[in-house]
Structure 1
Amino acid sequence: MEINAGEYYLRQLRADKALDDRPALVAAFADPTHRKYVLNYRLRDLDEATEYVALRAAQWAGDERCSWAVAEPTTGDLLGEVGLRDLDLDAGYAEASVWVRAASRGKGVASTALNAALRFGFGGLGLREVSYRYEETNEVSASVARKCGFTLVGPELDPAPTGERLIRWRRTA
């Protein structure tokens, strides 16, 4: 499933002869800011990146998560990743996630990609509610939530794995 997101397009993560996202994934996951907020995945080499690409494809196939590479439209270069995880199609619920490579930050990539994923979630999947959570110190994520029309719910009871408070936002169809 590819999505036209205006300045960018959303496509499946790839590791094939025509397009290989693995080197960009390894570089993105080595970035200190990325590592600070994305704790549940470590991609230190091409083998781990291969497993990550395969995992995302399996999650799509199992209706667990819709995940897209955010790509530059003329080159196909990976700029980041956006997704709808913890999918519950019966309940009409998912949680949004997005990250952007260091070189592409500050250009509206995250909010553009997330808005496109939300349109697909509400329109294509029939979701009724999508939540978005982030660590309290992640001010960029707060800005993305506001730009994407989420409403602040407040802090979660349980902290993030980092020990920081998690802030929850939600958006309904």
Structure 2
Amino acid sequence: MEPVEINAGEYYLRAFRNDDRVSDVRALVEIYADPETKRYMNRLSIDSESTAEMFIMLMTNGWEKSYRWSWAVCEAVTADLVAGIVLSNIDRTAGLAEVTCWTHPAHRGKGVLPLALNAVIGWAFGAMDMHRIVYKHSVLNPSSQRVAEKCGFTLEGRLRDNTIIDDQRVDELQWSRLATDPYPKQLP
């Protein structure tokens, strides 16, 4: 499957790139150098240009093999990378996927993810006939909870000791959104 581009108003969603015209390498290294990103996205380490290049290659492979769909969320005018969204654990037969997302530290609190994630979910439900998308985050991450709420996810429960934050086991909250759920009303 070829990567899908999505126009989300002031943001443009495209495949992660590292070519002679566009490179997301430096922005990915910046994002993952941020202490808050490291804290909550600790299962993935992008600490050098070579690991960023490998990440981009893995995201490209996910599209090619249709087991992971990913987007670099970019400002429409400058094309600067401001966030990332990945749908993984895709089961096309059952219509299931899990979402992971993050925002560049300089763009947090600006409503980037709710807008972009709602566009991705709309595409997944509409174009790909997905039925259920799961979103999980640490109970220590209130920003992720706000994203889940703004995107119309329903809280399903608490996964005890499901992740490690600051070298401690902590619970995660699990949310889901179904294709049959109403489109979310944006929170202020």
TM-score by length of 1: 0.97
The match for 1:104 is: 107
Amino acid corresponding to residue 97 of structure 2 in structure 1: A
The match for 1:70 is: 73
Give yes or no for contact 2:161–2:170 (8 Å, CA) kept in 1. no
Report how many residues are paired.
Answer: 173
Q: CA deviation at 1:161?
A: 3.1
TM-score by length of 2: 0.89
The match for 2:172 is: 166
Which of the numbers 42, 51, 54 marks the counterpart of 2:54?
51
Q: CA deviation at 1:127?
A: 0.5
The residue matched to 1:95 in structure 2 has which SS? strand
The residue matched to 2:162 in structure 1 has which SS? coil
Long gaps (5+) in structure 2 = 180-188
The residue matched to 2:19 in structure 1 has which SS? coil
The match for 1:31 is: 34
Structure 1 CA distance for aligned equivalents of residues 38 and 86 of structure 2:
18
Which of the numbers 127, 143, 148 marks the counterpart of 1:145?
148
The residue matched to 1:160 in structure 2 has which SS? strand
Give yes or no for contact 2:71–2:85 (8 Å, CA) kept in 1. yes
Long gaps (5+) in structure 1 = none
The match for 1:154 is: 157
Q: CA deviation at 1:157?
A: 4.0
Which of the numbers 124, 135, 140 marks the counterpart of 1:121?
124
Percent identical? 39
Give yes or no for contact 1:22–1:49 (8 Å, CA) kept in 2. yes
Structure 2 CA distance for aligned equivalents of residues 99 and 109 of structure 1:
10
Higher strand share: 2
Cα RMSD, aligned residues only: 0.9
Q: CA deviation at 1:97?
A: 1.3
The match for 1:21 is: 24
Amino acid corresponding to residue 58 of structure 1 in structure 2: N
Instruction: Name segments (4+ residues, structure 1) moved above 3 Å.
Output: none
